[in-house]
Chains A and B, each alone.
Chain A
């Protein structure tokens, strides 16, 4: 490329000043993907590798600009396999690292996620879910990867996955993903989706320095010292001991190793898991939702409970309902007798069994709206075997409307309750 041309191109760069676009109170209107990129920088992420893929591309675009400005390294790799591998390499070089992808790219990264889990490497994977399977629906949302996040790589391991449902959470959960990955020395997945990734909202940005505890942990049974510190760390994909020596051929030691990488997550579920409960004190019906679907679920609660919120009244949903149900039906349905509450799951993996059981202990009915064929509902059925658990799947790329959820409840529990 000619020197002149390069300079012209460089002139198109956006200014890297972090204060630009911020309101007086320090907040900023951001897209979910942008908030994720900014959260990563704030969390001390200093290496990003990625490959462009809809709908996660804004993350790689923003970090191409901001990662160097933060003093970190950025590389656009030849594929998602390379991206996932290079972040693990970079983390052993001492740089906090992440990658971001979607759909097919997330499938390609699965082997590396297992490698990071086995070698106990703290790295962060962002999956902005789109509709699948295969190339699927590049521009539309889904929650179809919720089991892939948990079980995607071969072999037994436990994973931490966080599911944001707002731009603010996209920012906060990205930071938390780095905190958890270092604390438990494990890969952490931010399981976002296209709705949240492309939504624009006000975000309170942090200006403090995020302190992350990356000291060695006694529940980690792999080498923990970064490279070039004279520790002779051997990062070994075969099952290994604390020094990285292979033990894959010794069943007793290997079994203990696999149990340990699972238990270090499951034994600390109380520390990792977070859920939020709304209007659950007197509820006899609970909506359990995660990710973007928690938004219409919240609106459904407000609609049934008569909570005024100018932002949420689903005017345009009513407009859409014109075509499906007719205006009169949509307007005239009375949901006010439904004592509905919401349990919003922030940590999808490990599954917050105890928290769900505690919040839902007094309800009769549980409904689980999901943008997939009904996956996480199986976890809820396992946790709440004595309750009526209703699955409300939705595929095709359209998110549930609040009335979708309430109508389903009416259909299942009847008008007389």
Chain B
């Protein structure tokens, strides 16, 4: 095994429960590379909700909360407020983050609390066996949309932009280097970071949503169907916009704001930790 992964992966927990060809491994490796480049192994914790992608951090040699469905963000907010000096990385799927956890995404982004959300979007509820998710394309046939999905799909990154997240990017599993860079920048960024990753689910989304269940073919399609756009640019008709959408360092982060308001009131900046 690669030295880096020996350092970061709990080998005794292997094999992972990911299906062959799943995009989660690519996201996991990208996250490991980002954490390693930053050299913050001892100062970062991971939080995830429920779903396939929520298992990504469970194999890492880090402190991890594998929390309730949709609730990764509030768990992480509590952890962050107790230890404002530490970094928190969240893994949350499309259903976890945008459906059941939508309310927490709204308020986490609006607060601009220093969390990094990696939103692994495979367009399906994979763990439960292939039901329609908030990002399932219009008309796609799934187990719970046998006549074609009637809902207009949600766009995670655009939603996070509208909510005021201060670092927003979208990449795919066909762009692992860019993804690792985005996760690294997201962790470094002081504020709410939202990184959407289009990730293949060959088993549940492959055939009906993507038209192929070959992982390599799915990754090739991600490369074909996307277009890297700079700030303000729009992709050609029919292509999905990817790239770095926003990086705003001017907005003051939530825990900093709290500290400033306490200091202004003459209260020593408090932190929740027992050693604080």
Which residues of chain A have a CB within 8 Å of any CB of chain B?
A: 10, 13, 16, 44, 46-47, 49, 67-73, 75, 77-79, 81-83, 85-97, 111-112, 115, 226-228, 230-238, 244-246
Asked, given contacts A68-B267, A228-B43, whether A92 binds B275 with beta carbons under 8 Å apart, the answer is: no
B58, B63, B68, B271: the one within 8 Å of A227 (CB):
B63
B65, B267, B272: the one within 8 Å of A235 (CB):
B65
Q: Are A95 and B265 in contact (CB under 8 A)?
A: no
Q: Are A95 and B264 in contact (CB under 8 A)?
A: no
Q: Is B161 an interface residue when CB atoms closer than 8 A count as contact?
A: no
Shortest Cβ distance from A223 into B: residue? B63
Q: Are A92 and B65 in contact (CB under 8 A)?
A: yes
B61, B82, B107: the one within 8 Å of A78 (CB):
B107
Q: How far in angstroms is the closest Cβ of chain B from A1?
A: 11
Q: How far in angstroms is the closest Cβ of chain B from A266?
A: 25
Which residues of chain B have a CB within 8 Å of any CB of chain A?
A: 10, 12-13, 42-43, 45, 47, 50, 58, 61-68, 71, 73-83, 86, 103-104, 106-107, 258, 262, 264-265, 267-268, 270-276
Q: How far in angstroms is the closest Cβ of chain A from B28?
A: 15
B64, B66, B71, B78: the one within 8 Å of A93 (CB):
B78
Q: Are A81 and B78 in contact (CB under 8 A)?
A: no
Q: Are B103 and A85 in contact (CB under 8 A)?
A: no
Shortest Cβ distance from B275 into A: residue? A94
Chain B neighbourhood of A72, CB < 8 A: 270-272
Q: Are A78 and B103 in contact (CB under 8 A)?
A: yes
Asked, given contacts A86-B75, A88-B75, A115-B67, whether A232 binds B61 with beta carbons under 8 Å apart, the answer is: yes
Q: Are A85 and B275 in contact (CB under 8 A)?
A: no
CA distance A255 to B106 in the complex (A): 39
CA distance A69 to B76 in the complex (A): 23
Inter-chain contact total with CB atoms closer than 8 Å: 166
Q: How far in angstroms is the closest Cβ of chain B from A13?
A: 7
Q: How far in angstroms is the closest Cβ of chain B from A178?
A: 13
Q: How far in angstroms is the closest Cβ of chain A from B69?
A: 9
Chain B neighbourhood of A236, CB < 8 A: 58, 66
Q: Are A73 and B75 in contact (CB under 8 A)?
A: no
Q: Are A87 and B78 in contact (CB under 8 A)?
A: yes
Chain A neighbourhood of B272, CB < 8 A: 46-47, 72-73, 90, 93-95, 97
Instruction: Name 6 A/B residue pairs within 8 A (Cβ), A-sorted.
Output: A46-B273, A72-B271, A75-B77, A75-B78, A91-B82, A94-B82
Q: Are A86 and B74 in contact (CB under 8 A)?
A: yes
Q: Are B66 and A68 in contact (CB under 8 A)?
A: no
Shortest Cβ distance from A231 into B: residue? B63
Q: How far in angstroms is the closest Cβ of chain A from B165?
A: 16
Q: Are B268 and A93 in contact (CB under 8 A)?
A: no
Shortest Cβ distance from B45 into A: residue? A227
CA distance A1 to B77 in the complex (A): 24
B47, B74, B82, B274: the one within 8 Å of A77 (CB):
B74
Q: Are A95 and B67 in contact (CB under 8 A)?
A: no
CA distance A228 to B77 in the complex (A): 16
Asked, given contacts A73-B271, A79-B103, A228-B42, whether A47 binds B68 with beta carbons under 8 Å apart, the answer is: no
Asked, given contacts A90-B272, A93-B272, A245-B13, whether A111 binds B45 with beta carbons under 8 Å apart, the answer is: no
Chain A neighbourhood of B273, CB < 8 A: 46, 93-95
CA distance A81 to B73 in the complex (A): 11
Q: How far in angstroms is the closest Cβ of chain A from B223?
A: 34
CA distance A78 to B104 in the complex (A): 7
Chain B neighbourhood of A89, CB < 8 A: 47, 65, 67, 74-80, 82
Chain A neighbourhood of B66, CB < 8 A: 234-238
Asked, given contacts A94-B82, A227-B83, whether A81 binds B61 with beta carbons under 8 Å apart, the answer is: no
Chain B neighbourhood of A231, CB < 8 A: 63
CA distance A77 to B76 in the complex (A): 13
B42, B83, B258, B262: the one within 8 Å of A94 (CB):
B83
Chain A neighbourhood of B63, CB < 8 A: 92, 227-228, 231-234
Q: How far in angstroms is the closest Cβ of chain B from A18?
A: 14
CA distance A228 to B45 in the complex (A): 8
Q: Are B271 and A71 in contact (CB under 8 A)?
A: yes
Asked, given contacts A90-B82, A90-B272, A228-B86, whether A234 binds B267 with beta carbons under 8 Å apart, the answer is: no
Chain B neighbourhood of A93, CB < 8 A: 78-83, 86, 272-273
Q: Are B267 and A69 in contact (CB under 8 A)?
A: yes
Q: How far in angstroms is the closest Cβ of chain B from A132?
A: 23
Q: How far in angstroms is the closest Cβ of chain A from B149?
A: 27
Q: Are B42 and A230 in contact (CB under 8 A)?
A: yes
Chain A neighbourhood of B75, CB < 8 A: 85-86, 88-89
Q: How far in angstroms is the closest Cβ of chain B from A214?
A: 8
CA distance A234 to B268 in the complex (A): 32
Q: Are B68 and A70 in contact (CB under 8 A)?
A: no
Shortest Cβ distance from A236 into B: residue? B66
CA distance A87 to B67 in the complex (A): 12
Q: Given known contacts A73-B270, A73-B272, A79-B103, what 9 new A-B pairs fall within 8 Å (CB)?
A: A46-B270, A69-B267, A70-B270, A71-B271, A78-B103, A82-B77, A95-B82, A231-B63, A237-B68
Q: How far in angstroms is the closest Cβ of chain B from A107?
A: 15
Shortest Cβ distance from B63 into A: residue? A227
Chain B neighbourhood of A13, CB < 8 A: 265
Q: How far in angstroms is the closest Cβ of chain A from B100?
A: 10
CA distance A407 to B262 in the complex (A): 56
A70, A82, A228: the one within 8 Å of B74 (CB):
A82
Chain A neighbourhood of B10, CB < 8 A: 232
Q: Are A46 and B71 in contact (CB under 8 A)?
A: no
Shortest Cβ distance from B85 into A: residue? A228
Q: Are B78 and A111 in contact (CB under 8 A)?
A: no
Q: Are A73 and B82 in contact (CB under 8 A)?
A: yes
Q: Are B64 and A235 in contact (CB under 8 A)?
A: yes
Q: Are A86 and B64 in contact (CB under 8 A)?
A: no
Chain B neighbourhood of A78, CB < 8 A: 103-104, 106-107
Shortest Cβ distance from B88 into A: residue? A89
Q: Are A234 and B81 in contact (CB under 8 A)?
A: no
